[in-house]
Amino acid sequence: MKKEANMKVEVEQLGPIRKKMSVALPPEMVDREVEKAYLKLQQEVRLKGFRPGKAPRALLQRYFKAQVEEDVISTLVQDSYPRALDENKCLPISQPVIEKGVLEKGKEFSYTASFEIKPVLDVQGYQGLQLEKEKLSVTELDIEQQLKNLQNNHATLKTVEGREARAGDCVVIDYEGSIEGKPFAGSSLKDHLLEIAPESFLPGFSEQLTGMKAGQEKAFALAVPAGYARDDLAGKTIDFKVQLREIKEKILPKLDDEFARDLGAYADLTDLKEKIRASLTAQRQQQIEAGLKEKISGTLIEKNAVEVPPAMIEQQIKNMIASMQQRLYSQGVSFENFPYSIEKLSEIYREPAEKQVRTSLLLEAIAGKEHITVSEEDIEHRYREIAQSMKQNPAAVRKSIEPELIKAQLLEEKAIDFIIVHATVTEI
């Protein structure tokens, strides 16, 4: 019995981040798939004048040739593409661009697949770095500021009369806005509670309310900065009509042991302060480490030119948007009410996403060069850490996060640790 020929594969390197794979499938494989497709079609199709399964092949070819060829080509590509990648040890990081050949009886069927790959890097300049990091410090002033924030967050509101609104007050307002006489999304609200503070609503809006009294109306124009997040408002002038309905004064709770106990698991005010100190210390430590990593990233990028695969940047942008949406969801905020569109977010995240991908590629290359590895115990330990922080079962966390993602994260962290160990780090 004659042995069927194997498929033929040639791989061409188109550049640091692209490959092109040419695949030729033997005639007998192609003819077999065509035969299978027509037999299947014969069983399924219903043609007038013929019993099921008895329609002549010539008639089927006349009516369904284009459909059969399309289905066969799709089957041939889907079956052979993964095998061709595996046999030639190709690891694409993007969907392939397929250029299909022509299907002819008794002849080879050929196609090409172009795809992106990770660049092969020989990283330089990552040992012996001179690095500076901020000295860890938490002052009494920092703790007092946190206490003031807690006070402000737990303040009660008391309606006041007979005076003008001032900074720090909360006011209930009705407002209407228009740009060149036309309303915009969210341009009018009634009974809206707003704090008179610089960060409230549009820049400069709350300051216009200072000096108003309950029942008073005011019209004013507000120039929105060109860099404002909402594209439909940025750089434009909005005409507002505002009616102030109520002025509410903040009544701050007294900072004492009772206040501390009301907040939760704190024995007294001293205990609350110590917990704040510990929390701030952990936050500052994370910030210092993030700052040091940022400096290492900048240095690596400066010393090593890297062509970044566009597919990796697009995936990172999607990850960043998904993460942001998850944070909004956890805070009870609907993405539909968020001022940024997906397109705007993609634009905002593109530069940091590219930097993150560039850094990841360099750290991965360093890990490979220095034979840095991640063990199963490392991965399990990280799962337990995540589960503890999220107050979930480790098994549930494992189902939601792929081990490869954990491994990649740990590999980057170990590469960073390697760089720091072999660097001179000065505290400032």
Residue 247 lies in a domain: yes
CATH number, position 238? 3.10.50.40
206 Cβ contact list (under 8 Å, min separation 6):
194, 195, 196, 197, 198, 200
The pLDDT assigned to 265 comes to 86
> Would you say residue 121 lies in a domain?
no
User: Do the domain assignments include residue 261?
Assistant: no
**What b-and-e string marks burial along 314-352, b requiring 16 or more CB atoms within 10 Å of the CB?**
eebbeebbeeebeeeeeeeeeeeeeebeeeebbeebeee
pLDDT at 337: 67
Let me know whether 391 and 356 are in one domain: yes
**Number of compact structural domains in the chain:** 3
> Looking at residue 59, what is its pLDDT?
80
DSSP secondary structure letter of residue 7: P
Note whether 334 and 341 are within 8 A (CB). no
277 and 241, same structural domain?
no
Q: What is the pTM of this model?
A: 0.77
**229 and 299 belong to one structural domain:** no
341 and 422 part of one domain? yes
Contacts 24+ apart (CB under 8 A), 318-326: 320/345, 320/349, 320/352, 320/353, 321/345, 321/346, 321/349
Looking at the structure, tell me whether residues 229 and 370 fall in a common domain: no
Which two three-digit tokens encode residue 93? 């990081």
The CATH number of the domain holding residue 338 is 1.10.3120
Q: Would you state the pLDDT for residue 45?
A: 77
Would you state the pLDDT for residue 232?
A: 84
Residues 234 and 183 in one domain: yes
Is 174 found in the same domain as 302?
no
Choose the final residue of a domain: 192, 225, 251: 251
Shared domain for 325 and 192, answered yes or no, is no
Q: Is residue 144 part of a domain?
A: no
Residue 30 domain-assigned (yes or no)? yes
DSSP 94: S
List, run by run, the mean pLDDT of 10-residue segments along the chain (428 residues). 74 96 96 92 76 76 89 95 96 96 93 97 96 94 96 94 94 96 90 91 92 96 88 92 96 95 93 96 95 96 96 95 85 73 90 96 97 96 91 88 93 97 94
Residue 198 lies in a domain: yes
Tokens encoding 145: 């500021």
Query: Which among 92, 40, 88 is positioned nearest to 68, based on CA atoms?
Result: 40
Same domain, 241 and 324: no
One domain, residues 239 and 286: no
Is residue 125 situated within a structural domain? no
401 Cβ contact partners less than 8 Å away, ≥ 6 residues apart = 383, 386
pLDDT at 63: 83
386: helix, coil or strand? Answer: helix
Q: Tell me, what's the pLDDT at 1? A: 43
Range(s) of the domain holding residue 40: 8-116
Pair 204, 335 in one domain: no
The verdict on residue 309 lying in a domain is yes
CATH number, domain of 16, equals 3.30.70.1050
Same domain, 275 and 227: no
Of 116, 134, 164, the last residue of a domain is: 116
Last residue of a domain, one of 116, 147, 172: 116
